[in-house]
Amino acid sequence: MNNLIYAVIFALVMGGMYAALYALNHRTPVPEGCENLKEECEGCTISNCGNHPSQSKIIEGE
């Protein structure tokens, strides 16, 4: 039973850490001259990957 509680607490801590770092990273301004850097991934067949070129077209179209 204790193990389960430890596991849940540990998962929450790890998830919270990721969420905090994600928020901090997105709040950190991009350095000057790097605003228009584009990922040069040509794309494999995994079209639901966030880096696939088709995903950026969806965001632009919204």
For other proteins, the binding residues (CB under 8 A) are: 3, 6-7, 10-11, 14-15, 17-18, 21-22, 24-25, 28-34, 37-44, 46, 49-51
Query: Minimum distance from CB of 19 to other proteins (Å)?
Result: 9
- The nearest distance, CB 9 to other proteins, in angstroms, is 9
**CA atoms within a 13 Å half-sphere pointing along the CA-CB vector of 59:** 8
- Please spell the DSSP secondary structure of 1-40, one letter per residue: -HHHHHHHHHHHHHHHHHHHHHHHHHHSPPPTT-TT----
Nearest approach, Cβ of 48 to other proteins (angstroms)?
11
